[in-house]
Structure 1
Amino acid sequence: MPHKTVDNRNVAQHLIQQLKQWDVKRIYGVIGDGILFLLDELGNQEDIQYIACRHEMNAALMASAEAKLTGKMAVCTATSGPGITVLLNGLADAWRDRASVLVITGQVERTKIGTGDVQDINQQQLIAPLAEYSSLVTDSHSFPELLNIAMKTALSKGGVAHLSVPTDIWTLPVNGNFYPLPLTKTYPQPESMDIKRVSNAINQAQRPIILAGRGIQYAQTEAIRFAEKLQVPIMVTMPAKPFIANDHPLFIGGFGQAGTEISRDLLKKADLCVVLGATWWPKDYVPSSVRVIQIDSEQGNIGLNRQVTDSLVGNLAKVIPALTEQINTKSNPAYVKEIQEEKDSWNKQIQSEIGEVSEKIPPAHVFAELGKCINPDAVMAVDTGDHTLWLERIFQYRGQELLVSGRWRTLGFGLPAGIAAQLTFPGRQVVCIAGDGGVAHSIIDLITAVTYKLPITLIIINNNAYFMETSRMVVEGLNRGGSQIPNPDYVALAKSMGAEGERVEKAEGLVPAFNRAFQSNQTTIVEVLCSAPILPHTKILKGMDTINRWG
Structure 2
Amino acid sequence: MARTVAHVIVDSLKELGVQHVFGVVGDALNPLTDAIRTTDGLEWVGCRHEEAAAFAAGAQSQLSGTLGVCMGTVGPGSVHLLNGLYDAAKSRAPVLAICGQVPLAEIGSDYFQEVDNDLLFRDVAVYRATVTSPEQMPRMLESAVRAAISQGGVAVLTVPGDLGDQELTEDRPTRFALDRAVTRPDDPALAEAAELLNSASRVTLLVGRGARDARAEVLRTAERLTAPMVLTLKAKEGFEDGNAFQVGQTGLIGNPAAAHALDHGEALLMLGTDFPYRDWYPKDCKVVQIDTREENLGRRVPVDVGLSGDVGATLRALLPLLEETSDRTHLDDARERFTQWQEGQQRLADPAHERRWTGKLRAVLDNRDHQIRPEALAAAVDAYAADDAVFTSDTGMATVWLSRFVTMRGSRRLIGSYNLGSMANAMPQALGAQLWAPDRQIVAFCGDGGLSMLLGDLMTIKTYRLPVKLVVFDNRRLGMVKLEQEQAGLPEFGTELDNPDFAAVATALGITGIRVTDPADLHDSVRRALETPGPVLLDVLTNPEEVAVPGKPTVSQGWGFAIAKVKEILPSREG
Conserved? CA contact 1:354–1:368, under 8 Å: yes
Choose the corresponding residue for 1:373, options 381, 384, 392. 384
CA shift for structure 1 position 257: 0.9
CA shift for structure 1 position 22: 1.4
Give yes or no for the alignment of 1:51 onto 2:45: yes
**SS across alignment from 2:473:** strand
Aligned residue in 2 for 1:260: 255
CA separation in 2, counterparts of 1:396 and 1:24?
30
Choose the corresponding residue for 1:230, options 213, 225, 233. 225
Name the aligned partner's letter for residue 163 of structure 1. L
Give yes or no for the alignment of 1:485 onto 2:479: no
CA separation in 2, counterparts of 1:280 and 1:390?
20
Aligned residue in 2 for 1:519: 531
Give yes or no for the alignment of 1:241 onto 2:230: no
Choose the corresponding residue for 1:383, options 394, 401, 405. 394
Change (3 A) 1:437 1:32: same
CA shift for structure 1 position 395: 2.4
Aligned residue in 2 for 1:342: 337
Aligned residue in 1 for 2:212: 217
Give me the TM-score of the superposition, normalised by structure 2.
0.90
Name the aligned partner's letter for residue 441 of structure 1. M
1:409-437 Cα offsets, whole Å, 9 max, x none, are 11111011111111111121111111101
CA separation in 1, counterparts of 2:372 and 2:5?
55
Choose the corresponding residue for 2:179, options 180, 184, 196. 184
Give yes or no for the alignment of 1:307 onto 2:318: no
Structure 2: stretches of 5+ with no match in the other structure: 355-366, 558-575
**SS across alignment from 2:69:** strand
Give me the TM-score of the superposition, normalised by structure 1.
0.94
Choose the corresponding residue for 1:440, options 452, 455, 458. 452
Aligned residue in 2 for 1:4: none
CA separation in 2, counterparts of 1:340 and 1:160?
40
Conserved? CA contact 1:22–1:180, under 8 Å: no
1:271-328 Cα offsets, whole Å, 9 max, x none, are 1110000001422222321221101122222122221010222222221222222211
Conserved? CA contact 2:149–2:178, under 8 Å: no
Give yes or no for the alignment of 1:322 onto 2:333: no
Name the aligned partner's letter for residue 224 of structure 2. K
CA shift for structure 1 position 246: 4.4
Aligned residue in 1 for 2:110: 116
CA shift for structure 1 position 521: 2.2
CA separation in 2, counterparts of 1:244 and 1:123?
40
After superposition, residues 62-81 of structure 1 pair within 5 angstroms as 62-81=56-75
Give yes or no for the alignment of 1:156 onto 2:150: yes
1:237-260 Cα offsets, whole Å, 9 max, x none, are 001012123463321100111111
Conserved? CA contact 2:150–2:178, under 8 Å: no
Aligned residue in 1 for 2:547: 534
| RMSD of aligned alpha carbons | 1.7
CA shift for structure 1 position 231: 1.0
**SS across alignment from 1:121:** coil
1:181-222 Cα offsets, whole Å, 9 max, x none, are 323211322223322221121111111100000011111122
Name the aligned partner's letter for residue 321 of structure 2. Q
Q: Which 4+ residue blocks in structure 1 deviate beyond 6 angstroms? A: 538-541
**SS across alignment from 2:496:** coil
Conserved? CA contact 1:245–1:251, under 8 Å: yes
**SS across alignment from 2:137:** helix
**SS across alignment from 1:161:** strand
Conserved? CA contact 1:134–1:161, under 8 Å: yes
Choose the corresponding residue for 2:375, options 359, 364, 368. 364
CA separation in 1, counterparts of 2:462 and 2:300?
43
Name the aligned partner's letter for residue 524 of structure 1. V
Aligned residue in 2 for 1:167: 161
Aligned residue in 1 for 2:30: 36
Residue range with higher mean Cα deviation, 49-58 or 214-223? 214-223
After superposition, residues 283-298 of structure 1 pair within 5 angstroms as 283-298=278-293
CA shift for structure 1 position 65: 0.8
**SS across alignment from 2:252:** coil
**SS across alignment from 2:444:** strand
After superposition, residues 449-528 of structure 1 pair within 5 angstroms as 449-528=461-540
Aligned residue in 1 for 2:137: 143
**SS across alignment from 2:51:** helix
Conserved? CA contact 1:145–1:176, under 8 Å: no
Equivalenced residue count is: 535
Conserved? CA contact 2:393–2:402, under 8 Å: no
Conserved? CA contact 2:261–2:330, under 8 Å: no
CA shift for structure 1 position 479: 4.3
1:439-498 Cα offsets, whole Å, 9 max, x none, are 112221111111111111000000001010011112212243311111122111111221
CA shift for structure 1 position 36: 1.3
**SS across alignment from 1:209:** strand
Conserved? CA contact 1:385–1:438, under 8 Å: no
CA separation in 1, counterparts of 2:518 and 2:199?
54
CA separation in 1, counterparts of 2:87 and 2:336?
39
Conserved? CA contact 1:422–1:456, under 8 Å: yes
CA separation in 1, counterparts of 2:339 and 2:63?
34
CA separation in 2, counterparts of 1:17 and 1:120?
28
Structure 1: stretches of 5+ with no match in the other structure: 1-6, 542-551
Conserved? CA contact 1:214–1:239, under 8 Å: yes
Conserved? CA contact 1:113–1:121, under 8 Å: no
CA separation in 2, counterparts of 1:258 and 1:467?
13
Name the aligned partner's letter for residue 402 of structure 2. L
CA separation in 2, counterparts of 1:214 and 1:178?
35
CA shift for structure 1 position 177: 2.1
Choose the corresponding residue for 1:90, options 81, 84, 87. 84
**SS across alignment from 1:27:** strand
Name the aligned partner's letter for residue 171 of structure 1. D
Aligned residue in 2 for 1:250: 245
Conserved? CA contact 1:226–1:321, under 8 Å: no
Conserved? CA contact 2:74–2:101, under 8 Å: yes
Residue range with higher mean Cα deviation, 231-240 or 241-250? 241-250
Aligned residue in 2 for 1:3: none
CA separation in 2, counterparts of 1:213 and 1:326?
23
Conserved? CA contact 1:455–1:523, under 8 Å: yes
